[in-house]
């Protein structure tokens, strides 16, 4: 058996390539949209990808099932409760897929979503379970959140009830030595307590995962529905798009370059200028009205929280990173990249009349503003789990992932200081708010980490 985990750090997302060496037949599970790694694996091992298995309709990324089917002729398959616009095979509970000696067993495990499945992997028909691919049903140290579909006709409590049953009748009945391979790791918004480990055993999870501890179903429902982070706004968009026919990604086509005059003209017509440089570089000079989301962070996820999926996007990147910036947006279905700024450093330096600079304040400057500016508005864009550890007195708590929908709660005329944990997300928020018409805004250098250090007891 060939078994490969392909882990995408920027989305904390895992996909899998499984092949049978005796037949050369292979499947891919939960592929990302840029499919070159799976095609490379098939080529290296001399295998044919015959099936694309999806554990559920993903909300946090746009899957590459259509791209992979187009490139290989593979069939796309889901659990039998899934309804798709494109041709797909429906897999029944207990159905076995024989690749040769390698056998895959489908188990329906609803709870994160109604159509969720897990896939048990056997090295041959007579061997005990080698591994189980759990998608978003169970993670290392956590389980999938059941609240993402609460506005779609099914309550989080109903899904949590299903999740409890799936865990105890389908996953925790596997042998302790079975290796658990999840769909996500730490950093994902699909759960609240995910480990940075990317595999574990069922036995270790039985000992260490809070969600499978001895408790009643009612207690489980309360535990798993409480304390979830605010998911990025694009989640519902991706969950819908993953069911639909849609245009395919060309992961090798670099965006066309645009002059700064053309960029500004398209910006005036409604396009978003997305500057992917670091917050420090952005603050020193950028096209006025640009939004700053650095490639160094969870770029696509943050973009999905502050941009509209329908927006036309023009990229500003360090030279050589244009394609990466485009592909990472495409991984969440943001395909409307219409171009990128030609030679950004030179274009900005030669057109100072089109350049703006952002205000970034130190802890001392923020303290002074809080003491002297009567109507100062302080905004904390961290997640609820972060703010539990302390906030700046009087701060308005709006997670970055919810900024778009909650901008109306803020006064765009008041002087405003935005902060996050370290200064990365606050630059995103400040630039987004400037684009929305906020007239006096700064972000805090070093974020709450610097603030709390400066105010720690001596």
Query: Domain containing 46 — which CATH number?
Result: 3.60.15.10
Residue 191, pLDDT score: 62
Are 375 and 308 found together in one domain? Answer: no
Which of 356, 390, 418 is the C-terminal boundary of a domain? Answer: 356
Query: Of 3-7, 58-62, 187-191, 207-211, where does mean pLDDT reach its minimum?
Result: 187-191
Q: Let me know if residue 329 belongs to a domain.
A: yes
Q: Let me know if residue 45 belongs to a domain.
A: yes
For a pLDDT cut of 70, what percent of the chain falls above it?
A: 97
Q: Let me know if residue 249 belongs to a domain.
A: no
Are 230 and 89 found together in one domain? Answer: yes
Are 80 and 148 found together in one domain? Answer: yes
* pLDDT of residue 245 exceeding 90: yes
Instruction: Provide the residue range defining the domain that includes 282.
Output: 257-356
Are 7 and 124 found together in one domain? Answer: yes
Angle at 264 between CA 348 and CA 234, to 5 degrees: 105
Are 352 and 389 found together in one domain? Answer: no
Overall average pLDDT of the 125-154 stretch = 87
Are 80 and 203 found together in one domain? Answer: yes
Are 95 and 203 found together in one domain? Answer: yes
Residue in the structure block whose two tokens are 């370290």: 422
Residue 25, pLDDT score: 98
Of 375 and 228, the structure prediction assigns the larger pLDDT to: 375
The domain tally of the chain equals 3
Residue 189, pLDDT score: 67
Q: Let me know if residue 441 belongs to a domain.
A: yes
* pLDDT of residue 390 exceeding 80: yes
Query: Of 64-73, 129-138, 296-305, 351-360, where does mean pLDDT reach its minimum?
Result: 296-305
Residue 458, pLDDT score: 58
Residue 156, pLDDT score: 87
* Residue 231: pLDDT band with limits 50, 70, 90: confident
Q: Let me know if residue 108 belongs to a domain.
A: yes
Which of 356, 382, 400 is the C-terminal boundary of a domain? Answer: 356
* Residue 147: pLDDT band with limits 50, 70, 90: confident
Q: Which range in 93-102, 192-201, 216-225 is most confidently predicted, on average pLDDT?
A: 93-102
Are 423 and 274 found together in one domain? Answer: no
- In terms of DSSP bridges, do strands 359-361 and 313-316 run parallel, antiparallel, or are they unpaired? unpaired
Overall average pLDDT of the 252-271 stretch = 97
Which of 192, 212, 241 is the C-terminal boundary of a domain? Answer: 241
Residue 263, pLDDT score: 98
* Residue 455: pLDDT band with limits 50, 70, 90: confident
> pTM for the whole thing?
0.92
* pLDDT of residue 305 exceeding 90: no
Q: Which string of b and e fits 292-316 if b means at least 16 CB within 10 Å?
A: bbbbebbbbbbbbbbbebebebbbb
Whether 285 and 357 have beta carbons less than 8 Å apart is answered as: yes
Are 13 and 142 found together in one domain? Answer: yes
Q: Let me know if residue 204 belongs to a domain.
A: yes
Whether 116 and 110 have beta carbons less than 8 Å apart is answered as: yes
Q: Let me know if residue 25 belongs to a domain.
A: yes
| DSSP structure class, residue 414 | S
| pLDDT, averaged across the chain | 94
Number of helical (H) and strand (E) elements in the chain, helices listed first: 16, 26
Overall average pLDDT of the 70-97 stretch = 97
Are 275 and 338 found together in one domain? Answer: yes
CATH number of the structural domain spanning residue 371 = 3.40.250.10
Q: Let me know if residue 247 belongs to a domain.
A: no
* Residue 195: pLDDT band with limits 50, 70, 90: confident
Are 137 and 224 found together in one domain? Answer: yes
Are 434 and 366 found together in one domain? Answer: yes
């Amino acid at each position: 058996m060939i078994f490969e985990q392909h882990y995408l750090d920027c989305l904390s997302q895992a996909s899998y390539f499984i092949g049978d060496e005796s037949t050369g037949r292979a499947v891919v599970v939960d592929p990302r949209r840029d499919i070159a790694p799976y095609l490379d694996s098939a080529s290296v091992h001399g295998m044919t990808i015959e099936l694309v298995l999806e554990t559920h309709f993903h909300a946090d990324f746009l899957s590459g099932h259509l791209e992979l089917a187009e490139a290989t002729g593979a069939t796309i398959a889901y659990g039998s409760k899934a309804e798709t616009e494109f041709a797909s095979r429906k897999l029944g509970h207990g159905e076995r897929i024989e690749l040769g000696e390698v056998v895959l067993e489908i188990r329906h495990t609803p709870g994160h979503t109604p159509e969720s499945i897990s896939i048990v992997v056997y090295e041959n028909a007579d061997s005990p379970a080698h591994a189980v691919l759990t998608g978003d049903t169970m993670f290392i140290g956590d389980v999938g959140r059941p609240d993402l579909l609460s506005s779609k006709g099914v309550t989080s409590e109903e899904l949590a009830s299903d999740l409890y049953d799936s865990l105890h009748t389908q996953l925790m009945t596997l042998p302790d030595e079975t290796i658990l391979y999840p769909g996500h790791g730490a950093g994902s918004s699909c759960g609240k307590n995910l480990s940075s480990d990317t595999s574990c055993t069922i036995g270790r999870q039985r000992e260490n995962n809070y969600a499978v501890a001895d408790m009643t179903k009612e207690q489980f429902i309360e535990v798993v529905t409480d304390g979830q982070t605010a998911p990025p706004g694009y989640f519902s968009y991706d969950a819908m798009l993953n069911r639909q026919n849609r245009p395919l990604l060309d992961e090798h086509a670099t965006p066309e370059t645009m002059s700064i005059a053309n960029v500004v003209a398209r910006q005036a017509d409604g396009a978003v200028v997305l500057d992917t440089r670091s917050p420090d570089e952005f603050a020193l000079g950028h096209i006025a009205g640009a939004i700053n989301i650095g490639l160094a962070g969870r770029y696509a996820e943050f973009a999905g929280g502050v941009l509209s999926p329908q927006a036309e996007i023009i990229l500003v990147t360090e030279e050589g990173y244009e394609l990466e910036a485009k592909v990472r947006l495409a991984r969440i279905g943001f395909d409307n990249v219409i171009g990128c700024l030609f030679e950004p450093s030179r274009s900005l330096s030669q057109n100072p009349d089109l350049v703006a600079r952002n205000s970034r304040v130190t802890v001392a400057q923020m303290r002074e503003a809080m003491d002297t500016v009567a109507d100062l508005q302080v905004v904390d864009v961290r997640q609820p789990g972060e703010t539990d550890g302390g906030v700046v007195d009087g701060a308005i708590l709006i997670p970055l992932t919810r900024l778009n929908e909650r901008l109306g709660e803020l006064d765009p005329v008041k002087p405003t200081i935005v902060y996050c944990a370290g200064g990365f997300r606050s630059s995103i928020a400040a630039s987004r708010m400037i684009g929305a018409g906020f007239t006096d805004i700064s972000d805090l250098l070093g974020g709450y980490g610097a603030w709390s250090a400066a105010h720690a007891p001596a």
